[in-house]
Each structure stands twice: as C-alpha cells, then as structure tokens.
Amino acid sequence: MDERATGIILRVRPLTESSLITHWLTPDQGRVATVAKGARRPKSPFRGKLDLYFSANFSFRRSKRSELHNLREVSLLDTRSNLRRELARLKQGAYAVRLIELATETETPIPGVHALFADFLHRLQNSPPSPVPILAFELGILAEVGLQPDPAATRLTPKAQRIVEKLQAIDWHSPGGRALTQDEFEDVAGFLKYFIANHLERLPKGRDEALLC
C-alpha cells in the first residue's frame, strides 16, 4: 500500500545508470529514503522533479527489507531555484542538511525540524548569505531535539547571552537583522561549536565554510 507525504529533498545520488536515491525530510515520517526507478531516463515521469531543496507531495511504497523505499509519484510544490545559483547558498544549505542528519534519526517524526528547515531555506533564498542564520539554525535544531542551551547557564558574556536569546527567537520571514561584530560572532559561534561537538559527539562537515559566507 502506498503512503503519501510532503517533504523537502535533502540529498539526491545515483543508484544505477537509470535510477536515483532521494532523501526526504518530512513532518510526519521524518527522514525517508526512496528509490526513483528510471528517474535518469529522458522520458521518466520523475524527470525535472528531483533536485536539492525541492519541496513536493510524493507517494512511496515501503520496502519490507530495508529503509530504502520505492518512490511512486512526485508533485512539485517549490523548486527554490535561487538556492542553486550561488555557491555560498549551496554551502549553507549543505551544512544545514548535515546538521539535521547528525541530530535526528531516520524515519523518526520531528515536525518542528521540517518546519525549521523550510523557514531556513526561505531566508536563504530571499536574503544574502550571512553567518547569522546558520547560528540561529543551529540553536533551532538543538531546541527541536531537546538540547536547547540556556544562555544564562553558560560562560558567555551578558551581551553574547542576549544575542543567543535573540537568535533563538529569530523571525525567519523577516529579512535582515542586526549584523554581529567580530567579537560577538566569535563568542556565539565558538560557544555553539563546543556545545554541538559535546552534545552531538562531533561537528558536521562544512561548518567553517558555511559561517564564512
């Protein structure tokens, strides 16, 4: 029996000469991996529908042997084409995906993570790349998985504590926001680097590059 879901594509990679593996982030099924058989063929119904950060309604049939399920249908909702026009945006998106994968289990529903990633991609698509949304996204993911740091219980300066509190309440759909001074950025970024490495056991690859954008 087919299941239906709405999701954002996190990764796409070849499986065979004609098929693709697509990793989705969904609100109700969590992270789901599917095989799109024949997707690389010119006349495939999946042609043009499977790429990074696309949002779509899709259906899939669960495998009884693995967590790699059979993709059946895809109906596009948003291609977010602007994200693929600038390397800095791709780097930040890639880091966000790695953090999601590190902080969550496959097929474990965390609706807030899906909503947070959609909001992050909205900001990334509609505003110039900046390190501030990356720091806010890190704080958001930590909160969604029950690891939200308490600024008052840290060794951060009072000013840095206030910045963390503002980042925790970021309005993703409001462009801009106050830029951080170099000292403020180093304080908050350094704190989160230590916190993530300590609580998730390692840092996702690409963090430094994402923060330089």
- Mean per-residue pLDDT, 116-138: 96
CATH number for the domain running over 82-211? 1.20.1440
- Mean per-residue pLDDT, 190-210: 96
Structure tokens at 137: 């996204």
Query: Which pLDDT value is given to residue 209?
Result: 96
Query: Which pLDDT value is given to residue 177?
Result: 67
Question: By the 8 A CB rule, do 62 and 32 touch?
Answer: no
- Mean per-residue pLDDT, 19-38: 97
List pLDDT tens digits, range 120-130: 999 999 999 99
- Mean per-residue pLDDT, 188-195: 96
Could you say which DSSP state residue 181 is in?
A: P
Angle among Cα 176, 77, 37 to the nearest 5 degrees reads 125
Nearest to 209 by CA among 90, 126, 120: 90
Query: Which pLDDT value is given to residue 154?
Result: 86
Could you say which DSSP state residue 180 is in?
A: P
Domain ranges of the chain: 2-79, 82-211
Cα 160 from Cα 165, distance rounded (Å):
9
Reported as a pLDDT band with limits 50, 70 and 90, residue 175 is confident
Could you say which DSSP state residue 106 is in?
A: B
Q: What percent of the chain has pLDDT over 90?
A: 90
List pLDDT tens digits, range 52-90: 999 999 999 999 899 999 999 999 999 999 998 899 999
Could you say which DSSP state residue 203 is in?
A: P
Helix (H, G, I), strand (E, B) or coil at 199: helix
CATH number for the domain running over 2-79? 2.40.50.140
Place of tokens 């001074």: 181
